[in-house]
Amino acid sequence: MLEELLTEMKSGAAKFFQSYPVKADVLLTGIEWKDFHLNCQIASKIRKTGINALVKQKSDHSICMSCSAKVHCSIETAAFSPIFIKKRVAGIILITPIKEQREWLQNNLDLLELQLDLCSEWAGAKLENHEMKKENNQFLGEINGIFHFIHEPILIAGRDGTIHNISNRLCSMLNKTQAELIGEHMTEVISVPDWLKMAKIANQQEMNVSLHTSRTVRKSEPYLARLKPILSAGQIESFLIQLNPILKTMKKEDKKFLYSFHDVKGTSEAIQRVVEIAKRVAPSDSSVLLRGESGTGKEVFAQSIHQASNRKDGPFIAINCAAIPESLLESELFGHVKGAFTGSNADKPGRFEMANGGTIFLDEIGDLSLHLQAKLLRVVQERKIERVGDTKTTQINVRIITATHRNLEELISEGQFREDLYYRLNVIPITIPPLRERKEDIPILVEYFLKSFSQKLFRSPKRLSKDVNEILLHYHWAGNIRELQNVVHHFMQLEIGDLVTIKSLPVYLSDLYKSQVNKNALQQIPAVTSGRRKKHSDEKEQILKLLDQFGRDTTGKKKVAEQLNISLPTLYRRISKMKIK
């Protein structure tokens, strides 16, 4: 397979230089290159340093003059350029003159430099694609190898719809054997329209499909398909597909999930102190007022307190007082009777009645109108409610947990919040710290969200680059945990690889990082302006400053080239032209 790639690359390299009187050759590690670099000292040096080499005249070149193989070497004039793959030299592009054109090449080596760089980059990309395809095949082989141990209903299908492998669990659901399904088309499993839709999917997502679950009758059942395209060289090679019955999925979703204190992530003293207080008051029926900025997790604490109380088997009913118009909120809280207002065609219980025997959570209590505050005060005091349009009172048994991000004391002084209601609700005040005051918990929260989204989105686990870790730790997080969760969700959806980089972050965070990098760079060295031709002296001064900063060895020069946004060979040419020592 590598021989075929080499033939293709030789043909491509020849096309790069077909307008010039030269011959282009490609030498790769393991093929031709081995014997060549052992005999040619220039090739050996290129492999070690990754630097271009030009030989105008072999007899005048210092390396060639000392080479033991110079007598047998047929090359008199040549240009060498390394082929890089993952920052290592994997081969070289060799340019030599065709018959009787040595003098032309000697006089026009500078003319070919750009074309040589382009050809090297193209060759490196071809090799990298080949490596990716090879890794992808190995990955598929490993997946196929563990199919015998998988208990999930999954399969792998090629882009053409051929089933490459299928789990025993899915075979049982289809009432067929692996031998009957492997090698068959996906339309043996799902409907033709579903496969046509599936084949067009370019990224990970979910879709509803009709699954053929009967051997004899063409019976189809609704299933939820989770798809993960498997890429090779940037192109979709196959699909990893998980199939689950929609009815079972719905049952899982219908079962209401409530958080517990186990879901409050963090080891900081600030959050542990709050958790300890909440755990201590959870068994009682005392009213709790949760305070904190938006996104700090007030509802998570409310649910956790309910789950740790004696009312855990009762209902947990939550309502956001700021999300419902005031004209409807009274009915939502206390219910109404038939005919109480236009459109009320039947009796309807309110949230307080629904929470009877359990807990009611009133979020954003600071946004409640004074009229409803008066009605709520009576409920808190007497544990009785009166439906809208009714004169009859109903006794209720509920625990009341409230939450707000507003300053209630300030609202009281402004006459916007009843002081008597405040004292009734503020029996056990718990203030949840913002994320910026517990930054040591950020790595724990990120890890938790990564694992959670990895499972929900059917994605492989991700690692964070050093730069991403830094920006997450130093950002002020105005939206607190909710904002952090959204950021993790964002890069889990966008990042294709296993390493999360700055490019995968939301624009406002990546821009913040860039501005910080530029600010730091300006403090150290003048910024490099791309797209403008600098004066020779300015460019030379810039390179000298960077060399002084990063060093003049190969590693330092690679960093200089990255700062200037040029290739390492181009930097060496500029150093040579500017006579920089």
pLDDT at 255: 45
SS3 for 227? strand
Q: What burial class does residue 89 get, using C-beta atoms within 10 Å of its C-beta: 0-12 exposed, 13-18 middle, 19+ buried? A: buried
Query: What confidence category does residue 420 fall into, taking pLDDT thresholds of 50, 70 and 90?
Result: very high
Strand extents, DSSP E, 369-508: 384-386, 393-395, 399-404, 428-431, 463-464, 499-500
The CB density around residue 305, as the number of other CB atoms within 10 Å, is 29
Asked if residue 560 lies in contact with residue 543, where contact means CB atoms within 8 angstroms, the answer is yes
Query: What confidence category does residue 534 fall into, taking pLDDT thresholds of 50, 70 and 90?
Result: very low
- HEC profile of 25-77: EEEECCEEHHHHHHHCHHHHHHHHHCCCEEECCHHHCHHHHCCCCCCCCCCCC
268, 319, 340, 387 from 347: Cα distances, Å: 49, 20, 9, 9
Query: Domains in the chain, please, with CATH?
Result: 2-135 (3.30.450.40), 150-253 (3.30.450.20), 261-433 (3.40.50.300), 436-521 (1.10.8.60), 525-577 (1.10.10)
Asked if residue 422 lies in contact with residue 381, where contact means CB atoms within 8 angstroms, the answer is no
Q: How far apart are CA 381 and CA 360, in angstroms?
A: 15
pLDDT at 430: 97
Q: How far apart are CA 263 and CA 53, in angstroms?
A: 60
pLDDT at 568: 78
| Average pLDDT of the residues in 561-569 | 78
Does pLDDT of 291 surpass 70? yes
191, 241, 250, 318, 565 from 224: Cα distances, Å: 13, 10, 10, 30, 47
Query: What confidence category does residue 552 fall into, taking pLDDT thresholds of 50, 70 and 90?
Result: confident
Q: Which two tokens stand for residue 42?
A: 């220039």
6, 106, 524, 569 from 117: Cα distances, Å: 18, 18, 30, 8
Q: How far apart are CA 150 and CA 167, in angstroms?
A: 6
| Average pLDDT of the residues in 500-529 | 68
Condensed to tens digits (0 to 9), the pLDDT of residues 358-380 reads: 999 999 999 999 999 999 999 99
pLDDT at 148: 64
pLDDT at 529: 37
Q: Which two tokens stand for residue 489?
A: 């969700």
Condensed to tens digits (0 to 9), the pLDDT of residues 76-87 reads: 888 999 999 878
Does pLDDT of 410 surpass 90? yes
Percent of the chain with pLDDT over 90: 37
- Specify the range with the lowest mean pLDDT, choosing from 88-97, 515-524, 551-560, 561-570: 515-524
Query: What confidence category does residue 35 fall into, taking pLDDT thresholds of 50, 70 and 90?
Result: low
Greater confidence (28 vs 320) lies with 320
Query: What confidence category does residue 295 fall into, taking pLDDT thresholds of 50, 70 and 90?
Result: very high
pLDDT at 424: 95
Q: What burial class does residue 127 get, using C-beta atoms within 10 Å of its C-beta: 0-12 exposed, 13-18 middle, 19+ buried? A: buried
Find the radius of gyration of the CA atoms of the chain: 35
SS3 for 133? helix
- Specify the range with the lowest mean pLDDT, choosing from 333-347, 389-403, 464-478: 333-347
Greater confidence (305 vs 34) lies with 305
Q: Mention every residue, 6+ apart, whose C-beta is less than 8 A from residue 378.
A: 384
Greater confidence (555 vs 14) lies with 14
pLDDT at 411: 95
Closest CA to 112 of 27, 185, 22, 5: 22
Does pLDDT of 248 surpass 50? no
Q: What is the DSSP letter of 503?
A: G
Query: What confidence category does residue 402 fall into, taking pLDDT thresholds of 50, 70 and 90?
Result: very high
Q: How far apart are CA 103 and CA 120, in angstroms?
A: 24
Specify the residue for token string 């003049």.
552
Does pLDDT of 531 surpass 60? no
pLDDT at 1: 63
Percent of the chain with pLDDT over 70: 88
Greater confidence (155 vs 147) lies with 155
pLDDT at 338: 85
Strand extents, DSSP E, 432-565: 463-464, 499-500
Where are the alpha helices (H) located in 360-441, listed in sequence order? 370-382, 408-413, 419-425
Does pLDDT of 464 surpass 50? yes
User: Among 121-130, 249-258, 286-295, which range has the highest average pLDDT?
Assistant: 286-295
Query: What confidence category does residue 536 fall into, taking pLDDT thresholds of 50, 70 and 90?
Result: low
| Average pLDDT of the residues in 510-536 | 53
Q: How far apart are CA 444 and CA 458, in angstroms?
A: 21
SS3 for 189? coil
Asked if residue 450 lies in contact with residue 312, where contact means CB atoms within 8 angstroms, the answer is no
pLDDT at 355: 94
Greater confidence (252 vs 463) lies with 463
| Average pLDDT of the residues in 121-142 | 80
- Average per-residue pLDDT for the chain: 84
Query: What confidence category does residue 254 fall into, taking pLDDT thresholds of 50, 70 and 90?
Result: very low
| Average pLDDT of the residues in 234-253 | 68
H/E run at residue 243: strand 235-245
Specify the residue for token string 């899915």.
170
* Amino acid at residue number 227: L
User: Among 121-135, 203-217, 419-433, which range has the highest average pLDDT?
Assistant: 419-433
pLDDT at 31: 61
pLDDT at 57: 84
